[in-house]
Structures are given as structure tokens and as C-alpha cells.
Amino acid sequence: MVATKARSRRIRRQTLADEVHQEVRRAIIEDELAGDERLTIDVLAEQLGVSATPVREALTRLASEGLASYEPLVGYRVEPPLDAEGLDRLMEARGLLEPRVAKLAAERRTEEDLAGFDLHLLVAEGADEPWDHVASDVAFHTWVATCAHNPFLSAALRDLRAHVLIYRLGVAPATGSHTVAEHRAIHEAIAAGDGSGSGAAMAAHLERTRRRHEGDQR
């Protein structure tokens, strides 16, 4: 009985840490917590109505994702948005992972995966708000990762997408007809079970995305 209660306490504490992690992560992504802003455990605990322990665990996870940094005797801070070099490294990582994930998606997608696809995931055509475009773009890439049925790859890409969100919302939120066409090509290849085609379409999409971002920086 004691062991069962102990397990129950650990589960509840971990669930709370997950919720705190998601909330602080959201605040960083949506720029409610700005780059280089100090993350004080006691202040966050009071704001969120929790103890210091789940906040500390959440900040440790955020640091492992690269969204926060820790300095001994100073504490945690929000990592600033990516600069040009950081963006280049991010796109390098995406270029290594996402074409392979798209290939696996075409080879492993199920009928349920295809049935669950909504055309709005291609991109929010005609939307006025930058967030609508960005959210649709992230949702599409999340769907591709889901179709690959590899939770480890999905987790790795989820961490990368957090940096994509911060960059896109803060620097280059615009998308358009180019993104729609590129997403559609990837989707069609996955639906057709064409692994080589989906991988190539994803690689081409990421390269064009990189070039568009470089144009935004000039």
C-alpha cells in the first residue's frame, strides 16, 4: 500500500511538472517571456500556483531543449531568438531529419493517418494573422512526423519546432502560395506511398524555406 501511494505521488508530481513545462514553454514561444529574461523559480511558482519543485523540473527540461539556459549562482534565463548562424544550424538539423521522416511517413502511414488529414494543414490560405500561417505550418510538419510512427523522431522534431516558432513569429512569419504548393507535394507523395518522392519533396521544401528566410534577413 505504501509503495502504491508513493507511485501515485510521483505520477501526480510528474504530471504537474509536465503542465508547468508546457505553460512556460508556451510563454517563451509566444514572447510573453522575452529573450534573456530571468526565470525565477519562486516567482514562477507563485504565478502558476504550484511549489518550486515542478517549476525547477520544468526549467531543467527547457534548458535541455535549448529554450532556456542555466548559469550557476545566477539561475535560469530565456534563450534569445536565433541569430543568422543559429537559424542556419537549425535548418541544417531539419534538413538531416525531416526528409528521412517524410520518407518513413510515406512507407508507414496508415489509412487512419490519411483520413485524419485536413487540407487546412497545408497552410492557412487567406488568413490575415501571422500566427494562423505559422500554426498551420507547424501542424502540417507534425502530421508528417506522426505518419512516420517513430516517437523518438517525433520528440526530436518537436524540440526543433519550438525554435522554428520563436524565429517565425519574431522575425519572418510570412508564408504564401509557395508553402501551400510545397506542402501539397509532400502530402500527395505520402498519400501515394512514395517514400523517395516524399523525402525529395521535403528536402526541396526545406531548402526553399531556408532561402526565403535568408531573404527576410537581408
Beta-carbon contacts of 121 under 8 Å, excluding residues fewer than 6 positions away, are 136, 139, 140, 143, 183
Specify the pLDDT at position 173.
Answer: 47
Confidence band, pLDDT 50/70/90 cuts, at residue 130: low
More confident residue, 172 or 106: 106
| pLDDT for residue 109 | 97
Check: CB of residue 1 under 8 Å from CB of residue 12. Answer: no
Q: Check pLDDT > 80 for residue 4.
A: no
d(CA 29, CA 138): 13
List CB contacts of 193: < 8 A, sequence separation 6 or more: 106, 107, 109
Q: Is 216 a residue whose pLDDT tops 80? A: no
- List, for residues 142-179, the tens digit of each pLDDT value: 999 999 999 999 989 988 887 777 766 555 444 566 78
Residues 6 or more apart in contact with residue 7 via CB below 8 angstroms: none
- How high does pLDDT run on average in the chain? 83
- Residue 3 confidence (pLDDT): 47
**Residue 1, pLDDT score:** 38
- Answer whether 29's CB lies under 8 Å from 162's CB: yes
3-state DSSP call for residue 39? strand
- Asked if 184 and 198 count as a contact pair (C-beta separation under 8 A), the reply is no
CA distances from 183 to 105, 129, 177, 203 (A): 14, 19, 10, 11
Residues forming a β-bridge with 39: 76
Confidence class for position 202, pLDDT limits 50, 70, 90 = very high
Higher pLDDT, 189 or 124: 189
Distance separating alpha carbons of residues 131 and 136, to the nearest angstrom: 8
Q: What's the confidence (pLDDT) of residue 64?
A: 83
pLDDT for 8 = 44
The DSSP secondary-structure symbol of 76 reads E
0.85 exceeded by pTM: no
All structural domains of the chain, each given as residue ranges with its CATH number in brackets, are 2-78 (1.10.10.10), 84-217 (1.20.120.530)
State mean pLDDT over 181-196.
Answer: 95
